[in-house]
Structure 1
Amino acid sequence: MLLPPRGNARILIGAHFVNTLGNGAYLTTSTLFLTRSIGLSPAEVALGLAIAAGAGMALSTPMGYVADRYGPKRVMLGLLILQAVCFAGLIGVRGLWSFAPIAGLIAVGESGAKAANGAMIAAAVEPAQRLRVRAFLRSANNAGIGLGALIGSIPLMLDTRSAYAVMLLANSVTFLLAAAVLTRVRLDKPVAARPAEQPRLVALRDRPFLSFALVDGLVAALYNELLTLGLPLWLTVHTGGPLWLVSAALLINTTGCVLLQVWASGGTDGLASAARTGRRGALIIAVACVLFGASTGMPTWAVCVGVLAAACVHVLGELFSSTATWAVIFGMAPDWAQGQYQGAYLTGRQIGNMVTPPLLTALVVGGGGPGWLVVGVLFAVAGTAYPSLVRWGERTRAEPVTA
């Protein structure tokens, strides 16, 4: 099936695709807009984004709780409007201390929207369809980001403040359009009430889930950074391979995620099968790391063949790993706390995003081929840990999480 099912599922995916078009354009142009148009130094950009990331990480679980408490649709609409206002407000930024608060609001809105979106999927579609809809969502995300990046090349070529301003306003419009589309989602079931004996932020007291979030957050951050950070650094320092291999590997990855994510989600229908899928995905990515490392010191043609083969293997493992992530989050979260569990997982993912760049740089640049093997071992260890973590979580699902 090339399209998601009619009704809520198709509305959710359509809204997400519209929004990611603008996000892709902004991501492509953001660095040059902030430095060349606003005049921030690279250090100021990094500091502002670090402050924003901290705010997003600290508030992701509380924002998920708000989505559970007041309804994911209502919260999602509010956060989309907030982000529309903030992106338009970037036009008026004149320095670090006007940039940092807006960037912080954008980060909080983004992390809150991700948590609310997961809760919306849980509330808007039947449990048996959640993974499939989530897979369609990721396909739409990759397609939207890719097309948005092409659109973002226009203001990059013009490189004028007016072009960047138009891009920011267009991105704001996509948030408003996405909100308009989401108003059509029908949530027939009332928001599930929190049982009186359960703590408000139950996800933060769920040790099996938090352990999974930390392990899987590192795995997800690593497989995302392999192609955008590890590969270009390794090509530059340790091989004579051409840098166009980075673009080719990213093209393979994007195409695979758009075309095959729904296929990869098939057959995963519970926590036990999610654990097996996660283990399979991590071990496949470990094989990709071995292929990357084996090309060190090889002739240029061999480096090209090795990188392209590794990219094909990598995307297959990524598809299975992402499927397992969604299945475990949906499966471990009670219906009344889907939002905060999505937010708690995002915290683990954000921790992985902080740890991964220095770790990957040290291993790939400092270690070369053997460094790639160490990265592969990390994936293999994480993959073998998945079943134990999930079984731990399954045992505690029947037990109340108390203070």
Structure 2
Amino acid sequence: MQLLSNSDPATGVVPVQQPNTESKRGFARRLADSLSDPVLRILVIATLIGRVGRGVFATITVLFITFVLGLTVGEAAIVLGISSAVGIGASYLGGRLADSLSARRMLFWLMAAEGLALACYPFAGGFTSVLIIACIASMLSSASNATRMAIIARAFEGPARVSTRAILRTVTNVSMAAGAALAGIALLVNTPTAYRVVLIGAGAVYVIGAIPVWRLPQRVDAPKRTAATHDSSQPAVSQSAAPRLGRSPFRDPRYLVLTALAAVFGMQFGLAEVGVPLWIVSHTTAPTVLVSILLIVNTVIVIIFQIPLSRGTHDLRKAGKVVTIAGVLMALACVAYALSAGVSMVPAIALLVVAAIVHAFAEVWSQAGTWGLSFELADEANAGAYQGVFSMGFGVGAMAAPFVVAGTALAFGMPGWIALAAIFLAAALGISAIARRAAAPVAATALAAAAAPRGN
């Protein structure tokens, strides 16, 4: 498997023996080869360091603001909801600015500022200060993520883009798990001072993670662009070679529909983080500790399979197929979750573990497919804006997920789970239909080129 390549190595001869040779190489060696690209190597190092700090915050921030600062559960929910909404708007802004400013410098300053904002949590005095800090941190996080996606879109092509996202997601899961383990120090000591020290340290780690980003090469920045002209006195080649102002993603109905459907399917993250834990505690006989076990199962599956199962999803048809598979698996997972209610403990545990495994593979395939489509269907000249819009959709889905899950599965049991399964399957089939329609002209062009007579 070739994880990353910036050029086509084809020589005109079908490489019959290459797949066998590649399959014998170890995963670590192939990953090391892919990291020879300076952009990917820098992004991996920054992610590996910074996401450790993020893992700490994801684990103990809510506990800190409730148990240490004394906010109620309702106030904590308001903080999370408002800050998420602020982050949605910042996604497009970050991506749009990455099309006109230096994306590498933007990413550095956004990550550094985010780390400082996160380190301010221990100094909060109450609801208002926590809300301000959370909104600032969410805004910076969303903008930096959109900027990072713009950098990937410009620095790589075709399969390399999806592979890069798969690698970074794998690294993110490893680092977040390490951060969660470090957060256990504060949980074990369980004093306000311990929480504050660990949070400040995590913010400092996040700032350190921004340092490698400063060394990103200049090629990740957007080229200076001019509006397209129709001056017939200019040579056609010169006009086509000049950087152009791209199409706005808000004027691209196909991309907006893709974003909306991907946002709907993206609610499966909220199902895993909110719905399943509440379902286990309130509707099944399974022990509460199973919530942590299922999270570990999900993390391990993503780490092992995200990279290999993302291979080839830059191809529109394959991207559509893997999203369809993800939709079917997600529907099956919903049914398995539903069946875990009303049975004794052992069958409940077995059904929940099976559901979590199927759910994890649905997550992996859905991410791989939607990544490929989000890159391939975007206007290359406006990569940042397109990735910003796609990130906005994901944010909307994340906000809606708790309400949708609560209003279906948690409220009505089996009928609600069936409704949720239908929602996921319909979104997947819609994404697949977009992929097939987008791939049709590409396939027709390829067939026409193959059928055309060859010159000497």
TM over 0.5: yes
2:72 is aligned with 1:41: yes
Aligned to 1:148: 179
CA distance in 2, matches of 1:298, 1:84: 46
Equivalences for residues 118-157 of structure 1 within 5 A = 118-157=149-188
Aligned to 1:101: 132
Aligned to 2:107: 76
CA distance in 2, matches of 1:195, 1:392: 31
Aligned to 1:88: 119
Q: 1:55 to 1:139 in 2, by over 3 A?
A: same
Return the offset for 1:147: 1.1
> Which of 211, 217, 234 is matched with 2:263 structurally?
217
Aligned to 1:400: none
Aligned to 2:205: 174
CA distance in 1, matches of 2:273, 2:115: 28
Aligned to 1:208: 254
* Greater CA drift, 100-109 or 227-236: 227-236
CA distance in 2, matches of 1:66, 1:234: 41
Return the offset for 1:219: 0.8
Return the offset for 1:297: 2.2
Aligned to 2:327: 282
**Residue 272 of structure 2: SS of its match in structure 1?**
helix
* Cα pair 2:52 2:179 within 8 Å, conserved: yes
Larger radius of gyration: 2
Greater RCO structure (CA 8 Å; 6+ sep): 1
CA distance in 2, matches of 1:394, 1:109: 35
* Greater CA drift, 171-180 or 195-204: 195-204
**Residue 342 of structure 2: SS of its match in structure 1?**
coil
Equivalences for residues 251-270 of structure 1 within 5 A = 251-270=296-315
Return the offset for 1:146: 1.0
* Greater CA drift, 99-108 or 232-241: 232-241
2:35 is aligned with 1:5: yes
Return the offset for 1:392: 5.5
Q: How many residues align?
A: 396
**Residue 69 of structure 1: SS of its match in structure 2?**
coil
Alpha-carbon deviations, 1:84-108, whole Å to 9, x = none?
2212222322122222222211111
Q: 1:201 to 1:92 in 2, by over 3 A?
A: farther
CA distance in 1, matches of 2:183, 2:97: 34
Alpha-carbon deviations, 1:302-354, whole Å to 9, x = none?
21221111211111111100001111111122223222212111211122122
Aligned to 2:48: 17
> Which of 364, 382, 400 is matched with 1:355 structurally?
400
CA distance in 2, matches of 1:299, 1:225: 26
* Cα pair 1:114 1:342 within 8 Å, conserved: no
Return the offset for 1:365: 2.2
2:375 is aligned with 1:330: yes
Aligned to 1:302: 347
Gaps of 5+ in 1: 398-403
* Cα pair 1:208 1:393 within 8 Å, conserved: no
2:266 is aligned with 1:236: no
Return the offset for 1:248: 2.1
Return the offset for 1:260: 0.9
Q: 1:299 to 1:195 in 2, by over 3 A?
A: farther
2:226 is aligned with 1:188: no
Alpha-carbon deviations, 1:133-183, whole Å to 9, x = none?
110111111111111011001112223332222222222222222221122
Return the offset for 1:201: 7.7
CA distance in 2, matches of 1:118, 1:210: 17
Q: 1:150 to 1:375 in 2, by over 3 A?
A: same
CA distance in 2, matches of 1:194, 1:304: 57
Instruction: State the percentage of identical aligned residues.
Output: 28
> Which of 428, 432, 437 is matched with 1:383 structurally?
428
Structure with greater helix share of residues: 1
Gaps of 5+ in 2: 1-26, 229-243, 443-456
* Cα pair 1:62 1:201 within 8 Å, conserved: no
Return the offset for 1:244: 2.6
Aligned to 1:64: 95
**Residue 159 of structure 2: SS of its match in structure 1?**
helix
The residue type paired with residue 325 of structure 1 is: T
* Greater CA drift, 93-102 or 273-282: 93-102
* Cα pair 2:147 2:384 within 8 Å, conserved: yes
The residue type paired with residue 134 of structure 1 is: R
Aligned to 2:389: 344
Return the offset for 1:395: 8.4
* Cα pair 2:158 2:376 within 8 Å, conserved: no
Return the offset for 1:18: 0.8
* Cα pair 1:131 1:323 within 8 Å, conserved: yes
CA distance in 2, matches of 1:172, 1:19: 9
**Which runs of 4 or more aligned residues in structure 1 lie more than 6 Å from their structure 2 counterparts after TM superposition?**
198-201, 394-397
CA distance in 1, matches of 2:173, 2:69: 29
2:358 is aligned with 1:313: yes
> Which of 270, 282, 290 is matched with 1:245 structurally?
290
Q: 1:190 to 1:25 in 2, by over 3 A?
A: closer
Aligned to 1:401: none
Superposition TM-score, scaled by structure 1 size: 0.91
CA distance in 1, matches of 2:344, 2:152: 48
